[in-house]
């Protein structure tokens, strides 16, 4: 049920499902439901995409790759938002690629169609800009976290942020992937994941991570998790 008290056919995407029945239906009329396998590229670094995606399940990662080859994740997007949201606002491509981190479902809409609706609808502009604010807060906090905090607290923060957007406590994630997301070495991931596992916070083996104690993992995370969680929780209150 949206803010008007009208029951609409929910998609699972919180941004889309928060809209009025008319706008919700209007966007769905130009969208297509798609499945996005693991590692599907949604847009390349430095390029304008053809489509935007309202995720209905799964998670996408925004990742910056430096000329020397280093990588680091700067944002996560799940069912709360819209992949391609920054491209709606103007002509400048993002210096980040976006790909599927956990297998996802989505409503895919041509970027030009969505940009037109954004320009025509004050309701859509409000919803999109509120999500942009949340993303800006999260991106800024992650950037500071990657620079200032130790690998263990960053890993705990990342696992919690991922869990907030996933459907369960178990996630299929390799050491190589974690190293790329955190901008660190695989050996460092091995050490800090091993430390969290020995303390009973997670179980980690064969490319699979299971959170065993969310409360304790929150204590292991830096304060950046609280900041990003607060921004996420305020988005649709």
Q: What is the pLDDT of residues 25-81, one digit of tens each?
A: 999 999 999 999 999 999 999 999 999 999 999 999 999 988 887 888 889 999 999
Q: Which fold has domain 14-145?
A: Jelly Rolls (2.60.120)
Least confident of 123-127, 176-180, 224-228: 176-180
- Under CATH, which architecture does the 150-221 domain have? Orthogonal Bundle (1.10)
What is the model's pTM? 0.90
Q: Token pair for residue 214?
A: 């969310």
| 217-220 contacts, C-beta under 8 A, 24 or more apart | 217/156, 217/159, 217/160, 218/156, 218/160, 220/152, 220/153, 220/156, 220/196
CA nearest neighbour of 154 among 223, 71, 97: 223
Q: Answer for the pair 186, 177: CB distance below 8 angstroms, yes or no.
A: no
For the chain, the C-alpha Rg in angstroms (whole number) is 18
Q: What is the reported pLDDT for 8?
A: 63
Is the pLDDT reported for residue 198 higher than 90? yes
Dihedral, CA of residue 83, residue 144, residue 73 and residue 165, to nearest 10: -60
Sign of the C-alpha dihedral computed for residues 144, 145, 150 and 151 taken in this order = negative
Domain boundaries, the chain: 14-145, 150-221
Nearest 5°: phi and psi at 93?
-70, 155
């Amino acid at each position: 049920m949206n803010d008007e008290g009208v029951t609409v056919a929910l998609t699972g995407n919180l941004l889309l499902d928060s809209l009025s029945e008319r706008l919700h239906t209007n966007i769905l009329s130009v969208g297509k439901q798609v499945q996005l396998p693991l590692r599907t590229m949604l847009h390349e670094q430095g390029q304008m995409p053809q489509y935007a995606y309202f995720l209905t399940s799964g998670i996408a990662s925004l990742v910056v790759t430096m000329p020397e080859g280093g990588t680091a994740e700067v944002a996560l997007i799940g069912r709360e938002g819209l992949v391609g949201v920054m491209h709606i606002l103007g002509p400048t491509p993002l210096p980040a690629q976006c790909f599927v981190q956990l297998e996802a479902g989505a409503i895919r809409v041509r970027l030009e169609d969505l940009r037109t609706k954004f320009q025509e609808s004050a309701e859509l502009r409000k919803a999109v800009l509120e999500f942009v604010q949340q993303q800006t807060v999260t991106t800024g906090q992650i950037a500071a976290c990657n620079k200032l905090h130790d690998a263990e607290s960053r890993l705990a923060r990342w696992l919690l942020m991922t869990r907030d957007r996933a459907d369960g406590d178990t996630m299929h994630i390799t050491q190589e992937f974690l190293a790329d997301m955190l901008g660190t070495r695989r050996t460092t991931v091995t050490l800090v994941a091993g430390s969290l596992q020995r303390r009973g916070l997670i179980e980690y083996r064969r490319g699979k991570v299971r959170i065993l104690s969310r409360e304790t993992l929150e204590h292991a995370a830096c304060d950046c998790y609280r900041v990003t969680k607060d921004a996420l929780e305020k988005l649709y209150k």
